[in-house]
Structure 1
Amino acid sequence: MSLSIEKKLEDIFLGGVAVKNVKIDQSVDELEKQLAILLQKRKEPLSEEEEHVRQSVRKMLRRGVYRPTGRSKPASEYLIRAALNDKFPRINIAVDTINYLSLKYLVPISLWDTDLAASEQYIFRLGTEDERYIFNSADQEIKLHDLITGFCMRDGKEQAMVNPVKDSLATKTTPESQNVAMVIYYPFADDGILAQMLEEFRGIMQNVGEVLPGVIC
């Protein structure tokens, strides 16, 4: 069984993987080693190629009324700043792995607890004017109008859950999470990098859980 993703956007590429029975509080030595190297690298300016990726991600998010600047910029850019300021977040093995990959490849990645989502089917489309959700414990909301958003299908209804900027508090991983899924938002046509990212995620997470087949769409 693989992750079920339906995409209602033609000019974005998604890659997703689900992991069952995760030992969420464990660490993986190889991740720690590679993250330390990457954090040191990110203290240097982005290369021309990396800057192209960063700008392409912003272009991917720039739709309708949505502008990916300021507090609305992609989550991958927050991670760059955190690395520069020695404030890179460490949460749990699943979050740390997607943050590592996001910082390495400079693209946003969402993660959620599939038990909290209570769904096996997910749809990605642009949010509408009246859609929003709470993204942190301070009850702050993010408006989803024209923002690429992932929805879980629950009782025949779509429930907004993740996006490339801030994921919903309702489905974020917790110390009790056992089953999780991730999705990468990628701005380019198939160039092998998206599959490479999924494989790196699988390689790390197979140490702490049962990684299901990935999906690219």
Structure 2
Amino acid sequence: MIEFDDHPLLEPVCFVTEFAEPLGSLGPATSALAALEPGATAPLTSSDDVRAAVRRLLRLGGYRPTGRGKPSAEYLLGAVANGRLGSINPAVDACNAVSLHSGLPISVVDLDRASEPLRVGVAEAGASYVFNRSGQEIGLGGLLCLFDADGPCANAVKDAQRTKTDEGTRRTLSVIWGTNELPGRADDAAAWYRELLAECGATTRSV
């Protein structure tokens, strides 16, 4: 279960995925990787209107979604265009494909590395966490985040290193950071996302 603080724009979709084997033992997510190729077609297409709506969602708590703090879906657009986005693992590849084409940021965390209770809300001023292996931090003040018992662990910009997937991951939680300014878009993104995961032999259930 996830508790959600009141928010006038947030329209999230969340689901849990269980993989038959650890991610490191699974083959590539073929359809997801194909969708990450430059010029690939997909069931959803991002646009300037989508990007603007996502930025309004993140600004509402006082966060500034620009520069290095832009929404993750915008980062993916640049990474694919520049040929900088390779395969990570089936869970992340599917996440990236759907985020790229839907324009919605998506978080995917290893459920066995997160501690209940789980909550979604706006981070307080001064909050931060490490988001990569080199120890870089992101300031979280005013940004919508997923929290576990130990604090914020994911958001629409960069997920925390401590709950990221690895080769041993068997269970994940995905959070699609949708907005009610784009009604139904998060549901459509989730449907395609779950299809891509099913191709990897995974099972999913709504939260």
- The alpha carbon displacement at 1:55 in A equals 0.9
Q: 1:118 to 1:180 in 2, by over 3 A?
A: same
Residue 177 of structure 2 aligns to a residue in which SS? strand
Match of 2:73 among 68, 72, 76: 76
CA contact (8 A) 1:17 1:211 kept: no
Code of the residue aligned with 2:17 in structure 1: it is V
Partner residue, 2:184: 192
| Correspondence for 1:126 | 122
Task: Give 1:64 shift.
Answer: 4.4
* Contact 1:82 1:89 (8 Å CA) reproduced: no
Note closer, same or farther for the CA distance 1:84–1:210 as it changes in structure 2 (3 Å cut). Answer: closer
Q: Which runs of 5+ in 1 are unaligned?
A: none
Name the SS for the 2:13 alignment partner: strand
Deviation at residue 203 of structure 1 after TM alignment: 1.2
Deviates more, 1:127-136 or 1:72-81: 127-136
1:88 aligns with 2:89: no
- Give matches, 1:48-59, under 5 Å: 50-59=47-56
With the length of structure 2 as denominator, give the TM-score of the two structures.
0.88
**Aligned length, in residue pairs:** 200
Kept in 2: contact 1:22–1:179 (CA 8 A): no
Shift in alpha-carbon separation, 1:78–1:196, aligned structure 2, 3 A: same
Structure 2 counterparts to residues 127-146 of structure 1, below 5 A: 127-146=123-142
Contact 2:108 2:172 in 1 (8 A): yes
Partner residue, 2:95 = 98
**Unaligned stretches of 5+ in structure 2?**
none
CA contact (8 A) 1:7 1:125 kept: yes
Q: Distance in 2 between matches of 1:116 and 1:72?
A: 24
**Distance in structure 1 (CA, Å) of the matches to 2:160 and 2:176:** 16
Output the TM-score relative to the length of structure 1: 0.84
1:183 corresponds to which residue? Answer: 175
The answer to whether the aligner puts 1:205 opposite 2:206 as a matched pair is no
Shift of 1:191: 3.0
Instruction: Give the equivalent residue in structure 1 for 2:11.
Output: 13
For residue 71 of structure 1, report the CA deviation from its aligned partner.
0.8
Partners of 1:198 and 1:214 within 8 A in 2: no
Q: How far apart, in 1, do the equivalents of 2:201 and 2:2 lie?
A: 21
Q: Give the conservation status (yes or no) of the 8 Å contact 1:19–1:209.
A: no
CA distance in 2, matches of 1:136, 1:147: 18
Partner of 1:165: 157
